[in-house]
Structure 1
Amino acid sequence: MPMMLLKNFVHFVIDCWILAPSLNFHRKQSLIMKNIFTTIILVTVSLITTSAQGLSSLPGLLSVQGNASIAVKPTTTTINLNIESKSATYPGAVKQMIERVDQLTKDLKKLGFEDKDIVTSNFNVEQSRVYVRNMWKDSGFVARQSLVVSFPQDKSKLLEVLNAATRSTAKPSINLSFGLDATKMESVKSELVKLAVADAKSNAEIIAEASGYKITGIKEIQYGDSRQTPQPMFESRAAATMLKSAEVEMSNFEASDLRYNESISIVYLIQKL
């Protein structure tokens, strides 16, 4: 808007300068008017030039996303041991499940686990139904319970638990997963943030230089979701396996690395070189 007003004013001054000789002034007065109008024109042009230079010096914006990914060895192991018993009656299903859970608990205690180390994560009893000849029919009851044990990552301990579970008369199904302890997780998070910021800065410098700009500062940093939805998840592609009970002795089992990812968006201030 200021630029438009200045341009309109310039046109007005030029018109006056052209019309000045035809005005009913004495020749001396006409010359004075021309000098005044000429001065106004020069001042106006100077103002326009200064304003244009000021606009061109305003910083631009460059939005860049930095990414980071880290693969680390797991530090914790979690084993879910699932018991499922079926019976024609409700009490029968519960009784069989409890007997198998008690047996499994005894087997785990032989490995050094205490009651506080063995956690019940699920307990469920429901009616079982089967679909036969286009009809749903009752087929008794199903009782389920899961026991969970967690311990620091140790290959020999892991194999010991797996072998004990597969030999147990409780015959549990087994779900295995790996993770990181709290201290290691915090360390990984911090490292991911540093790497993501460094990646964003490197990309911004390359883009700015190639475009004839230089980075002069940072306007905004976006870490996570500004709408307060869950923070970016540290995605864990942990090795997981489901083992059915079997008379088998396991002698080797390697845990896969865990991979964690992070992204950070940074808006940089840039200026023409």
Structure 2
Amino acid sequence: MMSMAQETSKISVDGKSEIKVLPDEALIRVSLSMKAMKTADATEGLNKKAAEVTKALKKSGVDNYELKADNYFVNVNRVYTKGTSKDSGYVASQTLRILVKDNSGEDLVKIMETLHNNIDMGFQFEFQLSDNKRKEYEAELLRLAIKDAKNKAEIIANSLELGKIVVHQVIYGDFTSSYQPKMYGAESMRIVADNQRTPPTIEPDEQTLTDQVKVIFTFDK
């Protein structure tokens, strides 16, 4: 006697969520480089430039920031001319990262103004969401994504008169963000002031955080 198992009917739904938030940090990147014929001179010059940035930050009077240095390199300064190359000393380079917690208040404004007035180096900044703030939204985004999947599945089931549906499987990946940080250069900052006696303000853009979950439901034929 042969028996055949009845195939389970399924509905697969992608649940999505989206939250718009304001970033709570600003990251300033200062790019340093120094050319010299000797590596010692190149690194010494680079250290002096880094000291200028540190001095400028202290001059701003702001304490609510973190200064870190990374991407330290010393490379041969290779000059290419008409298809040929020639080594001409060395280039020392480094990136300083200044993380400002007060991204839209007086602290950031003071630091930006001080860097403009006291250093002759290129720098960029971007607004970002701190790790702690991002984690606060993870649970909410997941709940919204699951709710969205459930609502979609119920609409499908009711529209097709499929009857009761039951969760069969949940597929969930990592928390993601669709936001792409917007970089601002030293000469194109969004600083607006009516006149010299009015302090400038810096306005961060909203960030869009998203999450997604796939839920598979079963129903009886």
TM-score bracket relative to the smaller structure: 0.7 to 0.9
2:118 maps to what in 1?
A: 168
What amino acid is aligned across from residue 69 of structure 1 in structure 2? E
Query: For residues 126 and 2 of structure 2, what CA distance do their matches in structure 1 show?
Result: 66
Q: How many Å apart are 1:3 and its aligned residue?
A: 6.5
Q: Which of 105, 108, 119 is 1:155 aligned to?
A: 105
Structure having the higher Rg: 1
1:146 maps to what in 2?
A: 95
Query: For residues 123 and 59 of structure 2, what CA distance do their matches in structure 1 show?
Result: 18
Q: Which of 19, 39, 62 is 1:70 aligned to?
A: 19
2:197 maps to what in 1?
A: none
Q: How many residues align?
A: 213
Structure number having the greater strand percentage? 2
2:213 maps to what in 1?
A: 264
SS of residue in 2 equivalent to 1:136: strand
CA deviation digits over 1:15-70, x for unaligned, max 9? xxxxxxxxxxxxxxxxxxxxxxxxxxxxxxxxxxxxxxx95xx7521110011111
- TM-score, scaled relative to structure 2: 0.84
Q: Which runs of 5+ in 1 are unaligned?
A: 5-53, 225-230
What amino acid is aligned across from residue 76 of structure 1 in structure 2? E
Query: Compared with structure 1, are the counterparts of its residues 196 and 249 closer, same or farther at alpha carbon in structure 2 (3 Å cutoff)?
Result: closer
**Residue 2 of structure 1 pairs with residue 6 of structure 2:** no
Query: For residues 98 and 181 of structure 1, what CA distance do their matches in structure 2 show?
Result: 29
2:177 maps to what in 1?
A: 234
Q: How many Å apart are 1:91 and its aligned residue?
A: 2.2
Q: Which runs of 5+ in 2 are unaligned?
A: 194-199
- TM-score, scaled relative to structure 1: 0.69
Q: How many Å apart are 1:177 and its aligned residue?
A: 2.1
Q: How many Å apart are 1:244 and its aligned residue?
A: 5.6
SS of residue in 2 equivalent to 1:255: coil
Structure number having the greater helix percentage? 1
Query: Compared with structure 1, are the counterparts of its residues 249 and 186 closer, same or farther at alpha carbon in structure 2 (3 Å cutoff)?
Result: closer
Query: For residues 216 and 137 of structure 1, what CA distance do their matches in structure 2 show?
Result: 73
What amino acid is aligned across from residue 127 of structure 1 in structure 2? V
1:209 maps to what in 2?
A: 158
